[in-house]
Structure 1
């Protein structure tokens, strides 16, 4: 049975995106004008490009696809092949705060981030080496894998655990294993198991559609959160009820034929 997850991420605050702009210029060799125009014309990306809508635009001609690799570890671990994600962008830096329906994406496969750095000649994941939503990089000289944070938030203790298999508890990992990453090389210890929770979405237009003009879905004044949940409930939860007065980290529902038709009607 296919599942559908409704996930919200934060958009906005252009003044904080200069590090991202510089990163993409270094990695993709695009000029400032291209990326600046992208931000102006489509300002709906996450600050770390996770999901990777900007990287996809820059790499799709070389086989790149939309991916999701850092945020919401709990959701990414549960997602199965052929499940669908509905992405909403939440601009909390304006008043009233606005929610936008960004689009939907269908899971094609899940891989370990280590697979992106495979040295095999047929490595089809090599294109993702220049995405922002990865946390591993390979030392070209030693061939060691090390922790890498493309957008500098200094979130190592929080983020590196998000790509492990979770057999080592988060607090234990932070206290005992992260110290091994705090050396100059930041090489990843061999006894840390990397989880296959880097999501690659289908590029089939019937399965994945990111709107050129995202739909302004709802506004929230910071008081009545249930307004947002009521609207999502009425539009998408066709066969199930939720507690609309509560904050939901994410929402999950069965991807029925009726719901799929509803999603594709946008």
Structure 2
């Protein structure tokens, strides 16, 4: 994302009174404007979420990143697909689990994950198999119990997210002959009670070119309606006419199935 596009974000937040900025993209901390963007919003009434790859703390030049995030009260949301070392290292690579645990300990020492300090540390779980996630509440209890007993670490919330059948996961399911079965599972578990709280109805997702989408998943497959604003520039254009509909496709059943799914966990 260019510096010009980044500079539009505070303007959009101010104009539309946006309450949450969710920064993601693999390792968003690597962007040279990352810290500047956060400090530029320090006086605004906006929650900032860093979708953090915890291993970044051990890269040269980023050793003081945890202190910066704590100072600016940034909410940290990080993926930890399991509380067992072997499972995480198998999925993410050798040593990732150990680095993640050490990173969480650093954050705990700064006050993250402790309710009384107001510094939020949230973890994310995705099921490996083509199934719906288990109960978010029960799994959170398991995570908290095991991680505290084994490693003496704490966190605030666990978010369970349903796997989205797009891109690499879609190709994986197709190779395994499980794509149609997974779609059948999602559709059979459609829950209309989730419709009101779908994230596509209250968020916008912005790619590195400043183009806007209904959600991160639609962005990943470059899918959106032809009508309505296309870029952050459009959102700042006073002459722009809004005529907008959420773009919907078969993969959207993943967000409506069961307890629902969003980047912030279950919906119901």
TM range (shorter): under 0.3
Give the number of the structure with larger relative contact order, counting CA–CA contacts within 8 Å between residues 6 or more apart. Answer: 1
Give the number of the structure whose residues are more often helix, by fraction. Answer: 2
Q: TM-score, normalised by structure 2?
A: 0.26
Give the number of the structure whose residues are more often strand, by fraction. Answer: 1
Q: TM-score, normalised by structure 1?
A: 0.26
